[in-house]
Amino acid sequence: NELSDYIERYFGQYTFDFSCDYVSYLLSSQELFRNLKCYLNMCQLTLEELYVLGILNLHKGQLTVKELQGEFHHPIFAVSPILKCLILKGLVKKERFELDERRVIVTIKREKFSKVTMLIQACYNYLEKGIQVKLNNK
């Protein structure tokens, strides 16, 4: 399973207490993310693309590439390939800053902003509901 492989690959040297509620909760949450991935697949998006859109949305739909890279607190994610996919899908655009052409600004397209916001809200609501169900089943 995907999460177990990730834990083994990156945290294999650590010992985990799997009787802990947090670890069992995390492992049981895999189903939520599998279902979320299926939904995103129907929307032709990946979790990484949703994450980038979410970050942009939190910053009023616009950040420089450098600022966006700073928001990725994990070295595995590379911003450029994700941005290329989002540009091809017509959701974001990249432009050089007028006053300083060295700066590149990534913006959610104005005509797609409400669609992106609704998608993020739907995913958030799904996860929030799933988390509440899991907490209530403890």
The residue segments making up the domain with residue 85 are 2-136
Tens-digit pLDDT profile for residues 50-92: 999 999 999 999 999 889 988 877 655 688 899 999 999 999 9
Q: Count of domains in the chain?
A: 1
CA atoms within 13 A on the CB side of 29: 15
pTM for this one?
0.72
Read off the CATH number of the domain in which 7 is found: 1.10.10.10
Condensed to tens digits (0 to 9), the pLDDT of residues 96-111 reads 988 888 889 999 999 9
- Which stretches within 14-102 are classed as H helix? 21-28, 30-42, 47-58, 65-71, 79-88
- pLDDT, tens only, 3-47: 667 666 666 655 555 555 666 666 667 778 888 888 888 889 998
